[in-house]
Amino acid sequence: MFLIDFEEKDRFQSLEWIKKNKIEIDNKLTLHGAILLKNINVSSSTMFEEIVRIFAKKLYNKNGEHEAFNRSGTVQTPVSYPKDMNLEPHCENTFHFSFPSKIYFSCQIAALEGGATTVYDTRKYFQLLPNKIKERFMEKKVMYVRCYIDGFGLSYGKTLGVSTKKEAENYCHLNALSYEWLGNILKTRAIRPAAISHPESGEICFISQINHWHQSRLEPEVRKSLRENYDVELMPRDLLYGDGSIIEDSIIQEMSEIYKQIEVSNKWQKGDFMLIDNILSAHGRQKYTGEREILVSLSDPINFKSSLCLPNKPFEPVNSVGKITI
Ligand SMILES: [Fe+2]
């Protein structure tokens, strides 16, 4: 993660500096995968969006996985997740056919304890993965299974942005999802690559949400309760190899330890801003206490058809820590 420290410059000076240095910041983003803007004092969702728009070519104004924060939907809230649980590393929405290539965060209320956003270099991660795991996922890909059950999590209508079963089916056709109806429950299966080549640099990036979705990463009592309350066919979420076979807990444990080795964490201060290349970096969130408010924006959608799914350039390690003070 690259750090830019604004040392309490006023709002006008900060925004002007970012506009003037946009190309340089974009280059730093491609090198480091994430950039933290400290002491920039983002004081509102309006100022947040002003900064986001300097970098975003196409800003999302809705996303079924997040609640809108502002009226236009360009600023959203983080995904709803219990604050007493760590949110595992993931690249945003990469279980969908189309996903954002850039994401933006700003802290408006810092947690009392914990709540750091953690960042992981997906190129470094791919390099460190043992060949046996890497090859298995490259060959089989990953299957994200989802059951939209009334009263548990988001509805299929809200997530897919549809209002009828027919529209949901059309959505599935257009977004490379296989589906079945179990009464009124929509069950979808998405087979997605675990790693792709970055569309600009060509470097291989491990972009899956494997650790975020696999049940072995849940607290033991949560996993137990899911198993007791849901038939295996009706699990709200499940993760398998792309051929439908079970991913062993031991593999996930090994993968989790590698994430730990490369974790960089940012203890938020009110007003901080973070820019993340959603292909070069995965992110997570530490558990926390107290109140915490983070603004989120997503931009520049890419899909698995337009992205390259095979390596075309050897990985070259970069120094992923750097800092400048403005
Ligand atoms: Fe996320």
Residue range 13-40, pLDDT digits in tens: 889 999 999 999 999 999 999 999 999 9
CA of 65 to the centre of ligand 1 (A): 10
For residue 229, pLDDT beyond 50: yes
CA of 105 to the centre of ligand 1 (A): 10
Give mean pLDDT, residues 204-230: 85
CA of 291 to the centre of ligand 1 (A): 18
User: Residue 133 and residue 64: Cα distance in Å, rounded?
Assistant: 31
Task: With beta carbons less than 8 A apart as the criterion, state whether 280 and 106 touch.
Answer: no
% residues pLDDT > 70 (the chain): 94
Domain ranges of the chain: 2-83+97-121+263-301+314-325, 127-255
> What confidence tier does 95 reach under pLDDT thresholds 50, 70, 90?
very high
> What confidence tier does 137 reach under pLDDT thresholds 50, 70, 90?
very high
CA of 183 to the centre of ligand 1 (A): 31
CA of 97 to the centre of ligand 1 (A): 16
Give the bridge partners for 296, in sequence order.
76, 105
**Higher model confidence: residue 297 or residue 175?**
297
CA of 110 to the centre of ligand 1 (A): 17
> What confidence tier does 323 reach under pLDDT thresholds 50, 70, 90?
low
Query: Which pLDDT belongs to residue 325?
Result: 55
Look up the pTM and report it.
0.88
Q: Which residues surround ligand 1, an ion (CB under 5 A)?
A: 92
CA of 228 to the centre of ligand 1 (A): 28
CA of 198 to the centre of ligand 1 (A): 19
179 contact partners, CB below 8 Å, separation of at least 6: 168, 169, 172, 186, 187, 188, 189
> Residue 254: which of 136, 119, 93 has the closest Cα?
136
Superfamily, domain 2-83+97-121+263-301+314-325 = Clavaminate synthase-like (3.60.130.10)
232-248 pLDDT, tens digit per residue, is 788 888 999 999 999 99
3-state helix, strand, coil in the chain (%, to 5): 30, 30, 40
* DSSP label of 9: -
Average pLDDT, the chain: 88
CA of 309 to the centre of ligand 1 (A): 22
Pairing of strands 34-38, 185-192: unpaired
User: Residue 35 and residue 264: Cα distance in Å, rounded?
Assistant: 12
CA of 166 to the centre of ligand 1 (A): 29
Query: Which pLDDT belongs to residue 313?
Result: 37
CA of 90 to the centre of ligand 1 (A): 6
CA of 64 to the centre of ligand 1 (A): 13
Which amino acid is located at 148 in the chain? Answer: Y
Ordered alpha helix ranges (H), 164-248: 165-174, 210-213, 220-229
**Are 2-83+97-121+263-301+314-325 and 127-255 the same fold in CATH?**
yes
Query: Which pLDDT belongs to residue 278?
Result: 96
Give the gyration radius of the chain's Cα atoms: 19
Give mean pLDDT, residues 75-98: 91
Task: With beta carbons less than 8 A apart as the criterion, state whether 11 and 297 touch.
Answer: no
> What confidence tier does 322 reach under pLDDT thresholds 50, 70, 90?
low
146-194 pLDDT, tens digit per residue, is 999 877 777 889 888 899 999 999 999 888 889 999 888 899 999 999 9
Task: From the options 1.20.140.10, 3.60.130.10, 1.10.730.10, 3.40.50.720, give the CATH code of 127-255.
Answer: 3.60.130.10
51-79 pLDDT, tens digit per residue, is 999 999 999 987 777 778 887 889 988 88
CA of 79 to the centre of ligand 1 (A): 7
